[in-house]
Amino acid sequence: MGCGALQTSPILIIGGGVGGLTLALSLAKRGVACQVFEQSAEFSEFGAGIQLSPNAIRRLKSLGLEDKLAAFATAPDKINIHDSIDGAELSHIPLGAMAEARYGAPYRVIARQHLISLLLEAVSDEPLVELFTNKRLLHLFQDGQSLVKAVMEDESVYEGALLIGADGVWSRVRTLLNRQITPTQTGLIAWRALLPERDAPALLSKADTNVWLGPAAHLVQYRVAGGEKINLVAVTKGEARPRSWAEDLPAELLFEQIRGWHKPVRRAVMEVGGWQAWPLMLLKPFRPWFKGRAVLMGDACHAIVPFLAQGAAMAIEDAVLLADLIANSEDINREDARDIVLTHYEAERYRRCRRVLSKSIYNLQFYHAKGALRHVRNGMLRFTPPKFLLRQYDWLYKE
């Protein structure tokens, strides 16, 4: 570790979501002290599921989380792809042993709360990490020379060598650095439900991951919590009030969008209770991601549409790279050394996240194809050998 000065000037991390907690753990593992400030009363996540592809799992493994992941997360054997109009199974993407052999880590799915819990447990064991809840960042002050100051809503003030905004798509840190950058509505809504396996319709409690592709909507289903719970996410067109996490929209709006679907699938979706709606937001690519001693990571600088299941994975990648660069910096308190670190971080991560965003947007067109395009898509899926469907993600999962 090159930056001994950080022992007395911690790194301040704003936000204790997947990105902030992974960063805290990565820094501590490299001998760098940090403080995490979470605005909520506890570190928690909405009880839905999350897919973690091999690129994310490899990094979490490098932080010593392999056993915990194996205990909490499932590794589906494949992703089965169905057409939602006639219900036919079109193909599958092999995962399981094939993905693990190819990418050096499995493809896993996990309940979000379990992911946060295992990260939290790991950082709680690290003497170099201090965790704070009920601390909402309001302001930051920096003059380029002395330490950066974070001012919280309760008027407490903290000083650090760097301040990292891991505070999500509505980032306060980003607003303080550049008011012009704001998230835009995509006109899409993600409907989520998490239900006990015994309460789920048989068609929606299959093993492995299942995706139904439809003209105005698609549906993803997988098991979490050791198979005891079924996670469902449907994406449809629709507007909702932004900034709200679990918006109270009636599920009839979802049912309306899947009117033309194969009856058994539609009936199964309608049997599920507790659908909650999420307006999907997008941050158009922008730079810079840093100013002086303050820098952004995760959804705060690259909130993407979730059609490649990579948002949290990108936050995890940011965290591991940023921690490496900080730990290997000559002296993060020196302006020239700091600029080298932050410029390197931004360049590498911007390139990767832009590519992920482009592919995510492409996937949306592919998933929601209608008319002749739907037949072209289905033909392509039927005639491409499954192993090639997996290999198209080599660029993503291998890096």
Ligand X SMILES: Cc1cc2nc3c(=O)[nH]c(=O)nc-3n(C[C@H](O)[C@H](O)[C@H](O)COP(=O)(O)OP(=O)(O)OC[C@H]3O[C@@H](n4cnc5c(N)ncnc54)[C@H](O)[C@@H]3O)c2cc1C
Q: Which residues are catalytic?
A: 222
Contacts of 224 (CB under 8 A, 6+ apart): 49, 73, 74, 109, 110, 111, 114, 194, 230, 231
Nearest-approach distance from CB 177 to ligand X, in angstroms: 13
Nearest-approach distance from CB 357 to ligand X, in angstroms: 12
Shortest CA distance to 144 belongs to which of 257, 292, 287? 292
Nearest-approach distance from CB 361 to ligand X, in angstroms: 15
Calpha distance 122→65 (Å, rounded):
8
Query: Which DSSP symbol is given to 43?
Result: -
| CB closer to ligand X, 3 vs 305 | 305
Assess contact for 219 and 368: CB atoms under 8 A. Answer: no
| CB closer to ligand X, 190 vs 326 | 190
What number of other Cβ atoms are within 10 A of residue 196's Cβ? Answer: 11
Calpha distance 399→394 (Å, rounded):
8
Residue 360 region by backbone torsions, left for phi larger than 0, else alpha for psi between -120 and 50, else beta? alpha
The residue ranges that bind ligand X (CB under 6 A) are: 14-20, 37-40, 50-51, 136-137, 166-168, 172, 190, 233, 278, 280, 298-299, 306, 309-313, 315
Calpha distance 300→175 (Å, rounded):
10
Nearest-approach distance from CB 328 to ligand X, in angstroms: 23
| CB closer to ligand X, 151 vs 325 | 151
The whole-angstrom distance between residue 341's C-alpha and the CA centroid of its chain comes to 24
| CB closer to ligand X, 3 vs 28 | 28
Nearest-approach distance from CB 15 to ligand X, in angstroms: 3
| CB closer to ligand X, 3 vs 364 | 364
Residue 87 structure tokens: 């219900």
